[in-house]
Chain A
Amino acid sequence: MLIYILKRLGLALIVALTVSVIAFALLRASGDIATALAGEGATPESIAVIRQTYGLDRPVVVQYFAWLWDVARGDFGQSFFFRTDVAGLIFGKIGNTLILGGASLAIALALSIPLGVLAAIYSGSMIDRAVTMFSLLGQALPSFFLGLALIMIFAIRLRWFPASGTDGWRNFVLPAVTLGYYITPPFMRLVRAGMIDALNTDYVRTARAKGLPARRVVFKHALRNALVPVVGLVAVQLGLLMGGSVVVESIFALDGLGYLAYQSISYRDFPVLQAVVLLLSLAYVVLTLLSDIINAWLDPRLRAA
Chain B
Amino acid sequence: MFLRPLMLAAALACSTAGLAHAQAADNTLRFAYNQTLESPNPYFTTLRLGVIVGRNAWDTLIARDNDSGEFSPLLATEWIWADDTTLDLTLREGVTFHDGSDFDADDVVATLTYAADPANGIVSQQIASWIASVEKTGPLSVRIKAKAPTPAAMEYLSTQLAIFPAGYFTGPQGATSAPLPVGTGPYKFDSYAPGGELLLSRFEGYFADSPKTGAKIDKVSIRIVPDIQTQLADLMSGGVDLIMGLPRDQADQLSQMPGVQVVSGETMRIVFLQMNTTDTGQEALKDKRVRQAINHAIDRKSISENLVGQGSTVINAICFQDQFGCTQDVTSYDYDPEKAKALLAEAGVSGLTVSLAAYRERHISEAIINYLAEAGITAQLQFMQPAAMRDAMRAHQVDMMQNAWGAYSMFDASATAPVYFGAQPDDNNLDPELKTIFDQAGATMDAEQRKALYAQGFEKIAAEAYAVPMFTLPVQYAGAEGLSFQTYPDEILRFWEMSWQ
Contact with B along A28-55 (1 / 0, CB 8 A): 0011100110111111111001100100
- Which residue of the partner chain B has the closest CB to A149? B7
Q: Is the CB of B387 within 8 A of A35?
A: yes
Residues A252 and B230 in contact in the complex (CB < 8 Å), given A35-B391, A156-B236, A266-B36: yes
Binding site for B on A (CB under 8 A): 30-32, 35-36, 38-46, 49-50, 53, 79, 81-84, 89, 92-93, 144-145, 148-149, 151-152, 155-157, 159, 162-166, 250-253, 255, 259-260, 262-263, 266-268
User: Which 9 A/B pairs are nearest by Cβ-Cβ distance?
Assistant: A39-B46, A36-B387, A163-B233, A253-B225, A82-B194, A255-B196, A152-B11, A81-B38, A35-B387
Contact with A along B86-99 (1 / 0, CB 8 A): 00000000000000
The smallest beta-carbon distance between A257 and chain B, in angstroms, is 11
The smallest beta-carbon distance between B239 and chain A, in angstroms, is 5
Residues A163 and B239 in contact in the complex (CB < 8 Å), given A31-B388, A92-B193: yes
Contact with A along B8-42 (1 / 0, CB 8 A): 10110011010010000000000010011011000
The smallest beta-carbon distance between A236 and chain B, in angstroms, is 28
| Assembly CA distance A253 to B126 (angstroms) | 34
Contact with A along B398-411 (1 / 0, CB 8 A): 00000001101000
- Give 16 A-B contacts (CB < 8 Å), ordered by A residue: A39-B123, A39-B124, A40-B46, A41-B124, A42-B124, A43-B425, A53-B172, A92-B193, A144-B4, A145-B7, A156-B14, A156-B237, A157-B11, A253-B32, A253-B226, A266-B35
Binding site for A on B (CB under 8 A): 3-4, 7-8, 10-11, 14-15, 17, 20, 32, 35-36, 38-39, 44, 46, 118-119, 121, 123-126, 129, 172-174, 193-197, 223-227, 229-231, 233-234, 236-239, 385-388, 390-391, 405-406, 408, 419, 424-426
| Assembly CA distance A40 to B408 (angstroms) | 9
Q: Which residue of the partner chain, among B39, B46, B388, contacts A82 with CB atoms under 8 Å?
A: B39
Q: Is the CB of B385 within 8 A of A44?
A: no
- Which residue of the partner chain A has the closest CB to B194? A82
Inter-chain contacts of B227 with A (CB < 8 A):
250-251, 253
Q: Is the CB of A164 within 8 A of B125?
A: no
Residues A49 and B118 in contact in the complex (CB < 8 Å), given A36-B385, A157-B15: yes
Q: Is the CB of A151 within 8 A of B174?
A: no
Inter-chain contacts of A92 with B (CB < 8 A):
193-194
Inter-chain contacts of A41 with B (CB < 8 A):
124, 405, 408, 419, 426
- Which residue of the partner chain A has the closest CB to B224? A253
Q: Is the CB of B390 within 8 A of A35?
A: yes
- Which residue of the partner chain A has the closest CB to B386? A40
Q: Is the CB of B10 within 8 A of A152?
A: yes
| Assembly CA distance A96 to B15 (angstroms) | 30
Inter-chain contacts of B231 with A (CB < 8 A):
164
Q: Is the CB of A40 within 8 A of B406?
A: yes
Residues A43 and B44 in contact in the complex (CB < 8 Å), given A162-B239, A163-B234: no
